[in-house]
Amino acid sequence: MDYRVSDPTRVWPVLQRSRDALADLGVHHVLVYTSTLDCGRVMVTMALRSKEPVLKVLRSKAFLNWFDAVGLEDIPAIFAGETVEKMSFVDPDSAEPPGVIVAVIAPVEDVATLITRVNEARPRFSAAKTRNLRIYQAFDDEHEAMILHEIKSEEDARRWIDNPDEVAEWMAGAGVGPYPPIFVGRFQHMMRIDEKR
């Protein structure tokens, strides 16, 4: 979910209070990011145990109450999909703090071809100071993807946004039509939810 609120600090306490309801919906991880460029913009990602409850989650009264509690006036941009590729460009044991997240939800021509092309361009992603890249494919549209791109610093992220690699076809679709603009932000919180409560 990608949305704007007047006070982003309200988001985490509401999520913490919603822990049991989220567990009932099959959520096992929740991550919260806040934008470094757009005041009040927040991105929340939730990992579910299976894709079956996605509609249940989106229609849940708890979910709608949560929207009200954080001060949303409009339904946020919501992406529902599954991980189709994870790439790491750094030593997994690195002690460096998390980098900057560049997130894009956009149309793509073919997700499998995109994954192949990104893998072939790994040296260029490393040179751009990419740390990790995750590609998700939408459940309801095989030509829609979300790409979460962790980059070392905000300066490196801005350089990437201004001059993305030619393989990053997804950058052109950000902010067009129903798609939200590029999200640039930092990790703030993570909640692990144990299904055995």
Strand partners for 130: 151
Mean pLDDT for the chain overall: 88
Per-residue tokens: 89: 């460009």
Per-residue tokens: 26: 């099959």
Three-state SS for 24? helix
* Residue with token string 């309200």: 10
* Architecture of domain 81-177 in this structure: 2-Layer Sandwich (3.30)
Cβ–Cβ < 8 Å for 147, 161: no
Would you list the domain boundaries of the chain? 2-77+185-192, 81-177
Does domain 2-77+185-192 bear CATH number 2.60.130.10? no
pLDDT at residue number 53: 57
pLDDT at residue number 55: 65
pLDDT at residue number 52: 66
pLDDT at residue number 119: 93
pLDDT at residue number 76: 80
pLDDT at residue number 173: 87
Extract the residue ranges of the chain whose pLDDT is less than 50: none
CA distance 41 to 21: 24
Q: How far from 14 is each of 43, 103, 185, CA to CA, in Å?
A: 14, 23, 20
CA distance 98 to 139: 28
pLDDT at residue number 68: 82
Is 2-77+185-192's fold the same as 81-177's?
yes
Cα dihedral value 138, 141, 143, 145, nearest 10: -20
According to DSSP, residue 59 is labeled H
